[in-house]
Structure 1
Amino acid sequence: MEGKIRKVGNSLGVILPKQLVDELHLKTGDKVTIERKGSNLEIRPIDPEFENWAEAYNEINKDYKDVLKALAK
């Protein structure tokens, strides 16, 4: 599958093929993570439900780190 790089303001954007957009149920405004893997790019949709869970976990872990360590023993 092929995409296309286009100029967007002072940046560049990737045009995703409709088939891929449909398969991943993407829509305008969805957030994605972009990671460099060697000479490749990996683009993944962000799951808002998981993002909320991860944020809550980080807060709990920060506030109760010692308690969580003790419970893990």
Structure 2
Amino acid sequence: MARVLLFGPLRDLAGWRERTIDAGSLSGLKAAIAAEDAALAAALEGPGVQVALDQTLVRGDPQLAAGSEVAFLPPMSGG
């Protein structure tokens, strides 16, 4: 089970900030989310969305351990 966190507009779109989802990999986690909410799944694949696994930015399809924390971060702006 992974602890999934959403921030900013991703949280607003989903209607939740934190949820526990059973998945063994990031792609499996995204598939589980897509099965529930296609609009959220599309947003998570959008440009600029980053993924942090246990507070470290990751790319690709990392494996998730029991108790992993996966945070989806919306595109950042600022100056």
User: The TM-score by the shorter chain falls in which range?
Assistant: 0.3 to 0.5
User: If the length of structure 2 is used for normalisation, what is the TM-score?
Assistant: 0.32
User: Per residue, is there more helix in 1 or in 2?
Assistant: 1
User: If the length of structure 1 is used for normalisation, what is the TM-score?
Assistant: 0.34
Q: Which has the higher contact order (CA 8 A, sep 6+)?
A: 2
